[in-house]
């Protein structure tokens, strides 16, 4: 199964993708995670990407498309954070068609802006295993430490207020048109992204099962 998760920053793409990965046994491919790993490893790609990410802007298409090519595999995947503009959507379509695969589902998580700002401002991530928390909605048992592995929790550089606002603007300008791209192809499924994580996941399961 090939699925795209669309939604603004903080809408819960990463959170839901982890559940989708387990439910349908598909790989979770997150361009944001891949870029952050490249930054940690100080690769050329990572160093270029960092300048854009710190400003809340999109990383150049060529770099991201090249990165994704080797990750979209025959056993299926859930794409989180890609495509992020119409050009990337076209590239994904071309990539799948060339391998005689097709996209099965496009799920768009809809969350109001005030809630997005609250979620992103309170997000904390484990440096070791990548587990995600929220200081208010999903706090770790011990402040600053991961429940899973004890690793140190950190706040992403782009989760500061001014960068969050910039990311939301970029979403409206660049990524919202991707909804139309998939809507005309009959693939877009809108999901209410407000509520408990498990409730939202149940909505996704219902949509995907209903469409099969």
What's the rounded Cα separation, in Å, for the pair 130 and 208?
26
Selected catalytic residue, list 55, 71, 87, 156 = 156
Nearer to ligand AP5, 2 or 82 (CB): 82
Selected catalytic residue, list 18, 124, 167, 189 = 167
**105-110 sheet: strands from edge to edge:** 27-30, 77-80, 2-6, 105-110, 188-192
Q: How many CA atoms lie within 13 A of 36 on its CB side?
A: 15
Under the criterion CB under 6 A, does residue 119 sit at the interface with ligand AP5?
A: yes
- Residue 64, classed as helix, strand or coil, is helix
Q: Is 167 a catalytic residue?
A: yes
Nearer to ligand AP5, 88 or 212 (CB): 88
Q: CB nearest ligand AP5: which residue?
A: 32
Q: Is 84 a catalytic residue?
A: yes
Indicate which single residue of 2, 3, 6, 12 sits in contact with ligand AP5 (rule: CB under 6 A): 12
**Lookup result for tokens 């200081």:** 135
- Residue 152, classed as helix, strand or coil, is strand
Selected catalytic residue, list 18, 36, 119, 123 = 123
Q: Identify which range of 11-19, 21-29, 183-191, 204-212 contacts ligand AP5 by CB under 6 A.
A: 11-19
**Residue count at the site for ligand AP5 (CB under 6 A)?**
35
From 204, 24, 193, select the one nearest 112 (Cα to Cα): 193
- Build a one-symbol-per-residue string for 19-58: x at contacts with ligand AP5 by CB under 6 A, - elsewhere: ------------xx--x----------------xx--xxx
- β strands within 72-171, DSSP E: 77-80, 105-110, 123-126, 132-134, 153-154
What's the rounded Cα separation, in Å, for the pair 123 and 111?
16
Using CA of residue 15, residue 16, residue 22, residue 27, what is the dihedral sign?
Answer: negative
Instruction: Give the pairing of strands 2-6 and 27-30.
Output: unpaired
Least spacing, CB of residue 99 vs ligand AP5, in Å:
20
Q: Is 123 a catalytic residue?
A: yes
Residues forming the site for ligand AP5 (CB under 6 A): 7, 9-15, 31-32, 35, 52-53, 56-59, 64, 81-82, 84, 88, 119-120, 123, 132-134, 137-138, 158, 167, 195, 197, 200
């Amino acid at each position: 199964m090939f699925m795209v998760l669309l939604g603004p920053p903080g809408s819960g793409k990463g959170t839901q993708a982890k559940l989708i990965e387990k439910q349908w046994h598909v790989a979770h491919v997150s361009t944001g995670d891949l870029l952050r790993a490249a930054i940690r490893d100080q690769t050329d790609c990572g160093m270029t990407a960092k300048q854009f990410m710190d400003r809340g802007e999109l990383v150049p298409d060529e770099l991201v498309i090249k990165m994704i090519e080797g990750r979209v595999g025959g056993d299926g995947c859930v794409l989180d954070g890609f495509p992020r503009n119409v050009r990337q959507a076209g590239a994904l379509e071309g990539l799948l068609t060339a391998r005689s695969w097709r996209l099965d589902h496009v799920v768009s998580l809809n969350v109001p802006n005030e809630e997005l700002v609250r979620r992103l401002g309170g997000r904390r991530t484990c440096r070791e295993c990548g587990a995600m928390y929220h200081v208010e909605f999903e706090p770790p048992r011990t402040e600053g430490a991961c429940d899973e592995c004890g690793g140190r929790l950190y706040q992403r550089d782009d989760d500061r207020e001014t960068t969050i606002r910039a990311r939301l603007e970029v979403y409206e300008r660049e990524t919202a048109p991707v909804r139309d791209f998939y809507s005309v192809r009959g693939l877009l499924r809108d999901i209410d992204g407000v509520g408990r994580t498990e409730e939202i996941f149940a909505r996704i399961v219902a949509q995907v099962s209903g469409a099969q």
